[in-house]
Structure 1
């Protein structure tokens, strides 16, 4: 998708590719690249230092911009326990070290208190979800300049799930995560807005900004999580995310001042990409 977007730079979004998810069980993803097929023989999955390095190295060889991994199971699957830890701090450090050799950062799916702490102290670039992140870990994130991408929209979305397990997780997790976001902001931990979308469809970011505000961020700070902060997380060398000389020239034209009404972010009247309108007013 990133390469396709580069064929029409004046029209398509700029994308950062994470490649293959570094996870214990690659499943069908082992078919994504011929160089991954030897890992299919591993009885214990992608857990050894060599196997962890291999997945990262394949990603780097294929031009991945960032590396994505996990420390906990998923919250969005009712048969998984998101508090179960799948990688240790040592294993995560192996992933981080391999990524850094290629000049890349690591984004880490996380939920449990210990999992979050292990991921941060292993040297990740961003903590994704991070519902039960503890104050000690937030202080460590501030010291290391580790980003926090809470994906509040994804957690809130579980509340309306017809599955009772997911609905209960949403109701339980959302207030905890909002408190963590407020604590992170108060401590000066950099926050980035993310939607947890995947594939070819991306959930609009406007709702995430609203939830950041509901968690306690001032309107401008909430907006910045989706603009300058998000751009800095994905590419610190880029000038994307701001309207300044030399920046790419991307903008949303809104019907209202978003600092007065954040809901206007969900219904822009026009989208500007590289200085050119993509939609009619």
Structure 2
């Protein structure tokens, strides 16, 4: 982030600067804690050693504390994107003709973009993010906490198979495409290959597994109505993930695929635009999470084939159904995500999602989805959680990811669409990544 070095505590030992302060105190902040419908009266929030210590000013601050006068501004938990693809932002044709080094450099710049928009955590639902996560965690580069899935696991001709039509099938000596060789995707068929793929991802450090069990918008050869992977293949993935004490997330739009996944023990359904009431009730009974998105469907990405445009239109038409059903039935396990790929300009406008969702939910409900709800969602990874602790809330003991916002997003969520001006302070893991107040802005 462009102003990180000027913020108190932004420098680290990796860049030769002073060590960050171990304590930050916000005074006079009106707090959205991730749970409530309203802001608190102006109060103090103390952060020590990467955790929130108090929210009411009752705890004594260490002598080396850095104090930030919030001046009545809003303090919220850091945002969480529960469906991100930080490494998949170049156009598909570019990714198919460049190497992983290029993808990594591009991904690092996108990670900085995420943090600048207030996202202190992302659940990456497909892509080779393992090294990027290590670089961020070590302080080598800036970005959010990453919950990595590793390569999306797809069947042949499924959502994740971008093998050129001119390429022979692997059955007769064909080769894996560049997206698979780079570790973003992995095409498998049958229980044996599924077992190997899931174990491979978990062994590399995946915090959860991502399967494509239905057609998708971004791929040309799989309509949204088709169901992908047999029940036995999905169950095999769930069994291995369960043996590793974590879970499986699935890309799918249609009710048949959703039901197959839920009955196999999948914990999160991604998208679900074509869901029906009966299937949502099944998810509710099984305690399954759902993570739909809006912004990615509002406008078509450039250069789409006609068949792909038709699928985007179909998904767009289903948005009102999925969100209206969720609202009507009181479906609470609802996540907040972006699913933006090959569109860095759209990613820069990621916070428009807060505004789009107010068609169905109050601003407080939307903000809860992006904070507390998503904090609970990423915690489904259990012992595979790379960041043990509580995320998405402002309360004693929670991990110290917070944002100071100029204005009240519960009254006007559109202020979040101008993060350069209105995200005044960004704190991740107790360290100040941005502080416009220190810069006198």
| TM-score bracket, shorter-length normalisation | 0.7 to 0.9
- 1:279 aligned partner: 434
**What RMSD in Å do the two structures reach over aligned CA positions?**
2.7
Cα distance, 1:11 vs. partner? 5.0
Offset, 1:10: 10
TM-score by length of 1: 0.85
Which residue of the partner structure matches residue 9 of structure 2?
Answer: none
Residue 226, structure 1, aligned to residue 370, structure 2 = yes
Deviation at 1:258, TM superposition (A): 0.7
In the TM superposition, residue 171 of structure 1 has moved relative to its aligned partner by 3.7
Deviation at 1:134, TM superposition (A): 1.6
1:115-264 equivalences under 5 Å are 115-158=257-300, 163-187=305-329, 188-197=331-340, 205-214=350-359, 216-236=360-380, 238-264=389-415
Give 1:57's match in structure 2, choosing from 187, 199, 206.
199
Decide which structure has greater helix share: 1
* Structure-2-length-normalised TM-score: 0.56
Change (3 A) 1:204 1:127: farther
Runs of 5+ in structure 2 lacking a partner? Answer: 1-131, 162-175, 381-387, 437-441
8 Å CA contact retained: 1:120, 1:137: no
Alignment match, 1:8:
139
Q: How many angstroms apart in 2 are the aligned matches of 1:30 and 1:265?
A: 36
> What is the Cα deviation at residue 78 of structure 1?
4.1
Query: What does residue 90 of structure 2 align with?
Result: none
In 2, the alpha carbon distance for the partners of 1:199 and 1:55 equals: 25
In 2, Cα distance between equivalents of 1:228 and 1:256:
20
Answer whether contact 1:195 1:203 (CA < 8 A) is retained: no
Sort the Cα spacing of 1:176 and 1:160 in 2 relative to 1 into closer, same or farther, 3 A: farther
Report the CA distance shift for 1:15/1:80 in structure 2 as closer, same or farther (over 3 A): same
Bigger Rg, structure 1 or 2: 2
Partner of 1:42: none
Unaligned segments of structure 1, at least 5 residues: 40-44
Aligned 8 A contact 1:106 1:126 in 2: yes
